[in-house]
Structure 1
Amino acid sequence: MTWFEIIILAIIQGLTEFLPISSSAHLILPAEVLGWQNQGLAFDVAVHVGSLLAVMIYFRKDIYRLAVAWFSHGLSKDQTTDSRLAWWIIIGTIPGVIFGYLMKDWIALNARTALVIAITTIVFGLLLWYADFKAKQVKTIEKIGLKETLFIGCAQAIAVIPGTSRSGITMTAGLMMGLDRESTARFSFLLSIPIILGAGLLSVLDFLENVAKVSWQELLYGAAFSFVAAYLCIFLFLSWISKIGMLPFVIYRLVLGLVLLYIVLG
């Protein structure tokens, strides 16, 4: 890859991992549409590490508070708000782990195409718009219960399909369950930590089993640019989402999906 490709792909990963527009779709598209060289597994791992570090550092106080609460009260009858939220993050991760493990190979062989991305981008974009438009948005993150957790967790499992967007589908599910925009975004970001960490570890194992010559400098720059882009994205998204809503992202998804359909079918 050229340095331009490295920087652009890293920024794309950092921005789209947490915006409701699908990071996997945007990392596939340069190779599918622009003819860029496939960035490879090692680079994918590096930019995901950058995104993971960004969300963990941004929510470091929350992570510490939830971890302390879970170890203190998680296994007792006297649950606190924080220990329950920690349990919801653990439980909400399980459907994605199971579905991702069972479907990983099939998805890699059959669903990583521009046509699939175009369709899922449009369909789940419209679903996001419907959820944002119709949602009551009355619950805060402290009001999340088992029902909301399972619904959002099962929705996250669908995100293994490229173009769905992990953050997009979990926010859609959260809005459908009555969460306000900021709460559904915060829960989506917290829920992303174990799933990104798990996926990253699996990718590392795959990489180690198929060791190839890599440029560590390229990987370092990729992780660094992804980190900066992801951190800024989280900060700005949480600052603006209550005001702007999901419509700008819905419009972007529809335009992107239609352009892709034109390229693929035209």
Structure 2
Amino acid sequence: MGLDYIVMLAVIQGVTEFLPISSSAHLILPAQLLGLADQGLAFDVATHVGTLMAILFYFRRDFSLLTYAWLRSFRGGRSSQHSRLGWALVIGTIPAVLAGLAFNNLIEQHLRSTLVIAATTILFGLLLWFADAKRTESRKNRDLNLKDVLIIGCAQALALIPGTSRSGITITAGLMLGLTRQSAARFSFYLSAPLIMAAGAYKGLELYQNGDQAAWSAVLVGTAVAAISAYACIHWFLKILDRVGMLPFVIYRMILGATLLGLYWYL
């Protein structure tokens, strides 16, 4: 892969991982629609590492507090807001991990098509618009209970379908449960860390078992660019969220979905 292609894909991964517009859709499309080479497993691992670095560094204080409180809970420490959030992230990750193990082959073989991406881009975009329009913003993350966490976790599992958007569907679920925009977005970002870690480890194991030879220059550039672009995206998204809401992202998804449908029917 050329340097320009590496940078483009890494930026796409870094930006779309945390915006409600689907990273998988944007990474699949260059190869399918523009006839470009697949980025390869090693590059996938690199961009996962980059986005994980970004989320952990951006929320480093939050993750330090909740990790410490969560570990203390094993030693009989008193339950706190941070320990409960730590357990919420563990429990909320389980549905997506189980669904990934059970349906990964099915998804890879049958659901990574332009038509599926177009349909899910439009469908879940409209659902995001509905959730944002009907939001009550009556709760924050500290108010989440086990049922809420499982609902958001199951919603995250749906993001295994390309075009759904992991951040989009978890923010949608959070808004429907009455969370504020900021709380829904932050919990979505927090919840991404263990899932990205699990996905990166899974892909890394697959890379090791396949014995693929990595182009280390591409891996290092991809990791760095994905990390920088993801960090900037998180910061920008949280800054403008309350001011612009979800409508710009919904409109983008409608345009993208319609374009994909047009390409599917006419190419």
Answer whether TM exceeds 0.5 for this pair.
yes
Match in the other structure for 2:21: 21
Match in the other structure for 2:257: 257
Match in the other structure for 2:228: 228
User: Could you list the per-position Cα deviations for residues 175-231 of structure 1 after superposition, in whole angstroms to 9, with x for gaps in the alignment?
Assistant: 000000000000000000000000100000111111223210011001111000000
- Residues 60-209 of structure 1: pairs in structure 2 closer than 5 A: 60-73=60-73, 76=76, 78-209=78-209
Is the partner of 2:70 in helix, strand or coil?
A: helix
User: Could you list the per-position Cα deviations for residues 127-183 of structure 1 after superposition, in whole angstroms to 9, with x for gaps in the alignment?
Assistant: 000000011111111111112101100000111000001000000000000000000
CA–CA separation in structure 1 for the residues paired with 2:76 and 2:240: 38
CA–CA separation in structure 2 for the residues paired with 1:62 and 1:216: 32
* Alpha-carbon contact 1:12-1:23 (below 8 Å) kept: yes
* Alpha-carbon contact 1:139-1:180 (below 8 Å) kept: yes
**1:75: Cα distance to partner?**
6.1
CA–CA separation in structure 1 for the residues paired with 2:259 and 2:162: 16
Match in the other structure for 2:243: 243
CA–CA separation in structure 2 for the residues paired with 1:28 and 1:20: 16
Relative distance call for 1:188 and 1:75 in structure 2 (3 A) is farther
Percentage identity across paired residues of the two chains? 52
Is the partner of 1:39 in helix, strand or coil?
A: coil
CA–CA separation in structure 2 for the residues paired with 1:207 and 1:213: 9
**1:5: Cα distance to partner?**
0.7
CA–CA separation in structure 2 for the residues paired with 1:204 and 1:73: 30
CA–CA separation in structure 2 for the residues paired with 1:54 and 1:90: 20
CA–CA separation in structure 2 for the residues paired with 1:211 and 1:73: 40
CA–CA separation in structure 1 for the residues paired with 2:90 and 2:22: 23
* Alpha-carbon contact 1:74-1:87 (below 8 Å) kept: no
CA–CA separation in structure 2 for the residues paired with 1:215 and 1:73: 42
**1:77: Cα distance to partner?**
7.9
Relative distance call for 1:77 and 1:54 in structure 2 (3 A) is closer
CA–CA separation in structure 2 for the residues paired with 1:39 and 1:72: 41
More off after superposition, 186-195 vs 234-243:
234-243
**1:78: Cα distance to partner?**
3.5
CA–CA separation in structure 2 for the residues paired with 1:78 and 1:208: 41
More off after superposition, 153-162 vs 136-145:
136-145
Relative distance call for 1:246 and 1:74 in structure 2 (3 A) is farther
Look up the equivalent residue of 1:27 and give its one-letter code: L
CA–CA separation in structure 1 for the residues paired with 2:237 and 2:162: 22
Match in the other structure for 1:51: 51
**1:53: Cα distance to partner?**
0.4
CA–CA separation in structure 2 for the residues paired with 1:191 and 1:75: 24
User: Which structure 2 residue ranges, 5 or more long, are not aligned?
Assistant: none
Over the residues paired in the alignment, what is the CA RMSD in angstroms? Answer: 1.1
What is the count of residue pairs matched by the alignment? 266
Relative distance call for 1:104 and 1:161 in structure 2 (3 A) is same
Structure 1 runs, 4 residues or longer, greater than 4 Å off: none
CA–CA separation in structure 1 for the residues paired with 2:219 and 2:177: 39
Look up the equivalent residue of 1:117 and give its one-letter code: I
> TM-score, normalised to structure 1's length?
0.98
CA–CA separation in structure 2 for the residues paired with 1:62 and 1:112: 35
CA–CA separation in structure 1 for the residues paired with 2:180 and 2:206: 39
> TM-score, normalised to structure 2's length?
0.97
